[in-house]
Structure 1
């Protein structure tokens, strides 16, 4: 099986098509786009309409050794051809462009964005754009994702049981829908690059469990994007002397077992009543409900993954009354903590 250490060589090695483009820089190779419909935009420019299914068909034809794997895949992963002409186009899928090395110049609605090594751009459906010719040092990885996979699979899984992730996911979704693209610049680029490399390993050299591995790497990728997004927003708010809601949620998540509304308000120099209204407006839930959800979700994790007694778990997550804990847990999950542990336990007793 291919190793992560081999991905760097694979990406930098010139493919036959890249050699063709390099030796014939004026070639537009419009034959590559003959299968796609074309329309004229308001500026009179020709725009190709890419579809996931036709890209899938092309990928299967050119990669017969992974064709079985591709048929079942909700995403396509490939290296963007260097030196290649890319016409104006839109598509019916979500597109991720990750700059593995060098630069990428992406023109979106007449605005040219310059992405540097480690940057990642997510483009929504129906966005008219093109990528300028790249040089030999410019390595761009493209990930094409069916919209339902992006919205229902990735985002919902990331947002489950975590108020910070849930808020960030909702914010990203709203920004993505409004602005049609988002650029991420993670502070720790090594984690994201490692995840992209792992994704390529299982995609290019598939085994029986490749789909599970690919899904796992996609979760890591989106987790890094969530972290990058919240850090960027926090800095933006601080620079304008405002308090970012994500920082407040992170504080609550960290101190959920002991903090009160007054504690949080004091920490951030807010009036408690104002903070209560602010949290409700930003998250759609009350402080009390938020704390309860966090405590119960942590209780679920401990029931599944520890040998602590239910009484100990009750204390750890911040409840002082065992009867009250049982009542809230049973109302929320329609079963007792003991029944939940019996159904979901991931470890065995010694």
Structure 2
């Protein structure tokens, strides 16, 4: 399958869609007996979806990729149009992406309307349902185990960039508090292309599909981080406030030369106030932030360039080679040369 075939795949009617297309969908017409059910405080029946049962259903309906599915940390499928979706919760993280049209999602008696390009991440145990969709409403569902979402995706994104680290932490806190978060991506072509690529490697797997799927998931979450920080920046600017993400982005861009006083002047802050503000918002001092950025860039240069240690030291903003060696060794428990040699040996052995 190729990317240009995904659009046809998503719009093509499945057997289930054909069945429900001309029949008013209701709970009694669909079979959810595979899942446990309980009654909530409002007296509503709520089905408990599990990753393992969804996996088993996927294996049964996609026998040609069953081997791939058994080792996959996530499940990807098109939400069936016209079919009834009951109130339910689940033991996995769910992503709903509106490929086209709209999606009406009810959470805690509040109905949210997602437009084309919008994406919703739902936490485990959130009771919700998706209203019946029509011909043009194409919704892509991604189900993932919580450990994949937290350790594989968010931690990787936050590991080498202070802006991403702050955004990931903010998103995680919002997600934990509200149990869901909606991203408005302005119909991002990059995001839609990544969703299509994800579907290609999921539906037509090859030996390196898992690596490709992980790469596309990184692109998807990178786009979500960009959308989140841009939205927050606009919200703060509309009230004549300075968004912390803009300050972090400036520091990231000028890490090799900027000082606390220079950053404070650029954003019309008092240096002492900026120092306290950064500490409160990020949990890190300005000097620790600069050091972490410099050392992360040093690691990237050690792995991906042939620059000498002295050249790397100068590029990242350190003027004292001995000081750089001391900071690097303290942080990574090895010298820069050992770090480079270990990485090269690891690459050669792969």
**Structure 2 length-normalised TM:** 0.96
Report the Cα offset of residue 187 of structure 1.
3.8
Determine whether 1:241 maps to 2:265: no
Instruction: Report the alpha carbon displacement of residue 195 of structure 1 after superposing the two structures with TM.
Output: 0.4
Runs (5+) with no aligned partner, structure 1: none
Counterpart in the other structure of 1:303: 302
Residues 139-150 of structure 1 mapped to structure 2, 5 A cutoff: 139-150=138-149
1:52-88 Cα offsets, whole Å, 9 max, x none, are: 1111111111111111111111111000000111111
* Structure 1 stretch displaced more, 338-347 or 64-73: 338-347
Secondary structure of the 2:240 match is coil
Distance in 1 between residues matched to 2:302 and 2:228, nearest whole Å: 31
Alpha carbons 2:244, 2:281 under 8 Å: kept: yes
| Residues 118 and 186, structure 2, Cα contact 8 Å, conserved in 1 | no
1:170 aligned residue: 169
Does 2:240 align with 1:262?
no
1:211-237 CA distance string (max 9 Å, x none): 111111111101111111111111111
State the match for 2:192 in structure 1.
Answer: 193
Say whether 1:57 aligns with 2:56. yes
| Distance in 1 (alpha carbons) for counterparts of 2:116 and 2:272 | 45
Q: CA deviation at 1:30?
A: 5.3
Paired with 2:201 and 2:340, the residues of 1 have a C-alpha distance of: 34
What stretches of structure 1 move > 6 A for 4+ residues in a row?
none
**Contact kept in structure 2, 1:87 and 1:130, CA below 8 Å:** yes
Alignment of 1:266-305 (within 5 A): 266-305=265-304
Q: Any conservation in 1 of the 2:118–2:187 contact (CA below 8 Å)?
A: no
Q: What residue in structure 2 maps to residue 38 of structure 1?
A: 37
Whether the aligned pair in 1 keeps the contact of 2:38 and 2:45 (CA below 8 Å) is yes
The corresponding residue for 2:312 is 313
Alignment of 1:1-350 (within 5 A): 2-28=1-27, 31-187=30-186, 189-345=188-344
Q: Distance in 2 between matches of 1:235 and 1:180?
A: 24
Return 26-35 or 124-133, whichever deviates more: 26-35
Cα offset, 1:322, TM superposition: 1.1
**More deviation, 241-250/26-35:** 26-35
Q: CA deviation at 1:260?
A: 0.2
| Cα displacement (A) at 1:347 | 9.3
The Cα offsets for residues 13-59 of structure 1, whole Å up to 9 and x where unpaired, read as 11111010102223536553101111111211111111111111111
Q: Distance in 2 between matches of 1:231 and 1:323?
A: 40
Q: CA deviation at 1:308?
A: 1.4
